[in-house]
Chain A
Amino acid sequence: MNLNNLKKYGLFMLFIVFVLLSFIFNYNVGEGIYDNFLQFTLTMVKFLPAVFILIGLFDTWVDREVIERHLGNQSNHLAFIWAILLSGTTVGGLYVAFPVAHSLLKKGASLRIIFTYIGAAAICRIPMTLFEASYVGIKFTLIRLLTSIPLIIISSILLEKYLKGRGYQIIDELTS
């Protein structure tokens, strides 16, 4: 294990030590945190590997030209609708939307579409919206969606303008 890996997994190793010590000394806080850790890890295992395989398949199967045409800089307003529809299918949370958005961006989607996708993935995920409607009310859900979607689109366009003016480049080392 090289130094870089040590740095990457440093927190994890520290955490393992903390949990072990907690169990040895019956430290309740540590045990409770470990329970949460186990539960959340299981939740992630339920979909995260599949999501990454889908991202990989997307990488080799979908032509750059298709993404550029529909979601790229020259795309029309329909692109926002595609982004929002795509975001509706997001499972998990924002942490799943980031890698997906990153590979879309690498395939030539424009920044405004990427930020719309991320924003919509946060608020329009279908399973989550159903939960919201049943616990807080359909009226609330509708108001929230109808007010936030336009705000997300507007802010995404503004953010793209700002970043383009500053020559923003995405991080590439992840996929190298």
Chain B
Amino acid sequence: MIYLLTFLLTIVLFIKDKEKTIAGVRIGIKKLIKNLSVFLNMIILVSISLYFVSDQMIVKFLGQSSGFIGLILAMLLGSISLMPGFIAFPLAGILLAKGVSYTVIGGFTTTLMMVGVLTYPIEKEFFGIRVTIIRNFISLVVALLVSLLVGIFYGEIII
């Protein structure tokens, strides 16, 4: 799908301006090759972590956890794992059916999406170590606030 779109766009642009388009494609390929090792390293880290932090393990850990400890655990697991949405959300559905609170699920999914320990090698390559650490830390705080707000909206946290 995205290849088709890219292909069509490239054709259209090529007709409009041959040189600009060839130069663009060249820059793209050059950048891809330059970043290949960083992406490979991330894939390796992800495949190792996905093996040890499996779906079953997450269900086991979060299945009966609740309260503040559960939230912290969920955020920790979410931060260190990286999984595509089509795995993560069915998993969240299973957790929900097991009686896990929306607060804990919010903590897990939000950190999963926003905090990336495994994407650290890529992020630091583009934005530097300091920014990467600060951004991930801020994301952790945002995730905590979001899950607390989710809890308040669902009446799980009473203030």
Measured CB to CB, the residues of A under 8 A from B are 8-9, 11-12, 15, 29, 32-37, 39-41, 43-44, 46-61, 91, 93-95, 98-99, 101-102, 115, 118-119, 122-123, 125, 127-128, 131-132, 134-136, 140, 143-144, 147-148, 151-152, 155, 159, 162-163, 168, 170-171, 174-175
Contact = CB atoms under 8 A, between A and B. Distances in A.
Interface residues of B, number: 72
A136 B2 contact: no
Nearest to A168: B131
Contact of A36 (B32, B50, B149): B50
Nearest to B106: A144
B40 A9 contact: yes
B105 interface: yes
A57 B21 contact: yes
A147 B149 contact: yes
Nearest to B114: A122
A149 to B, nearest CB: 10
A44 B69 CA distance: 35
Contacts of A128: 85, 89, 113
Nearest to B105: A136
B15 interface: no
B96 interface: yes
Nearest to B7: A50
Interface in B20-75: 20-21, 23-32, 34-35, 37-44, 46-48, 50-51
Nearest to A92: B84
B63 to A, nearest CB: 16
Given A36-B51, A132-B92, A61 B20 contact: yes
